[in-house]
Chains A and B, each alone.
Chain A
């Protein structure tokens, strides 16, 4: 299946902005972020097709996953 991964803010540093990946059925968010060297604790917002998801969410063909780090400064 094909899934689009979008990274935001500092997650783009040394990685990518958007990438389409060919992944096996049953792939979870955790399976996607681990090879990217991102831990669930580093994620502030995780959206699958615009709706809240988490590391356990299983992805489907055609999904778009958007991942944001915490931005908390003032």
Chain B
């Protein structure tokens, strides 16, 4: 079935030309949990033509508090397959590829073939740094975001920037291990990631290159820091 006017409310935020660029774009979303689920949902709704989702986990009960793709009916299902099913009912014009497994560096050139942009929605610091390295090697723009409790960070890393390794190269385990992740934090950080991703896909300048946004939803402060 054809849904005329599906993108009517994208105007005039997005021009017809922008919409066509999105339809011809492919985005890889690495991690399909709190952040990745919302990122996939929004990119499908806004009209990105092809999405490749990576995640090696199945849904658990503890995901229900925040992961948009998790329902009481799909506990135990692969996250990427549940996401694929949901997105098919949201926007059947979007081609969604589900990769059941973790992102591996040696398989990256094959896995990210034909991808135009990568969204980092991972939950381990080492893998984030590895993903940035791979993106730079493949000349791909990366939008990264991370969350813990009331707090989040996000930015854009273009080839050669190494912003992620600067931000995530130090420190012990993230404070999310103690503070968890409530529903609102991944939703906010995912939305901010998608705004940056859309700019890159339609050829606008991203706002958070060589910088990161420090998000504090407890004090409602959004502060930008330059990466010098």
Nearest CB on A from B218, distance (A): 8
Q: Which residues of A contact B150 (CB under 8 A)?
A: 9
Whole-angstrom CA separation of A47 from B218 in the bound complex: 22
**Interface size classification for chain A:** 20 to 34
Identity of the chain B residue whose Cβ is nearest the Cβ of A6 in the assembled complex: B223
Query: Quick one: given A47-B225, A50-B228, are A73 and B171 in contact (CB under 8 Å)?
Result: no
Whole-angstrom CA separation of A41 from B174 in the bound complex: 11
Q: Which residues of A contact B128 (CB under 8 A)?
A: 72
The DSSP consensus for interface residues of chain A is mixed
Q: Which residues of A contact B178 (CB under 8 A)?
A: 10
| Contact present for A10 and B175 (CB under 8 Å) | yes
| Contact present for B35 and A74 (CB under 8 Å) | yes
Whole-angstrom CA separation of A21 from B179 in the bound complex: 29
Report which A residues bind B (CB closer than 8 A): 8-10, 12, 17, 41-45, 47, 50-52, 66, 68-74
Q: For the complex of A and B, list the 10 residue pairs with the smallest distance between their C-beta atoms, beginning with the closest.
A: A72-B174, A73-B176, A44-B171, A70-B171, A74-B123, A9-B151, A71-B148, A70-B174, A10-B175, A72-B125
